[in-house]
Amino acid sequence: PVEHLLPGPVAAAYFNEEMYDLANQRLELEGFRRKTHVQCDSETTDIPVPKWAYPEITVVAAHEGHVARASEFRKVLQKLSGVEIGMAFISKSRQAPGEKTYETILVGDVKDRECIIIDDMVNTGTTMVSAINLTKESGARGVYAYATHGVFGGGGSLSDRDADGNNFNSTTAPQMLNDTDALEFLLVSNSVGKNRPGLAPKIRQLSVAPLLAEAIARALHNYSISGILDLEDLPKPPQRP
């Protein structure tokens, strides 16, 4: 099976760029410009977004079972951004033995922060929607989500109750997520179906091709594949005489 952790670095790099773009937009509103060019030794470079302008971010595990996955994502995003990234998780517990519904509690600081919810897959979408709404209701400034696999199984038909016992009208999972006002966008890899038509505007697909190429290169040269998680560069091969 595809290891759920591996696409994390690619997704973290994607979100890092998104957060820099968000910081850039806010700086421009305040009279600053990131893309002011500086001429130096005949080379033109961009003035980087200062660290103080980078959004305050919390990575949120969709439930306790995803804390390790979310922690790896947070570690990479923190390394790429160079700023401290917060951590939180959603806990589910039955209020009484035999209860079919769960009480969901968000553990961690999300108030006035940009939050990225981490899950392994999205199928019906009910768990993700519940997590998005809970995070927003807990004071998050913006809510984003990343799931390794966008399964959207069974045609996305929803007829059951979600984890909190709420009924959803019959619709597709992508459309339900798109209609969730609290969601900025959901990022999924293209591990399940490539460039599938009909995905809602708020759902973005990320190619895992660079990741697979990196893994193959590491395997051919007997380097650690798990080193991708730590953003380790492949050593350059020795030059031929």
How far does the chain reach from its first CA to its final CA, in angstroms? 42
Pick the catalytic residue from 75, 92, 136, 202. 92
Beta bridge partners of 147: 119, 188
92 catalytic residue (yes or no): yes
Contacts of 211 (CB under 8 A, 6+ apart): 6, 7, 9, 10, 228
What residues are annotated to the active site?
92
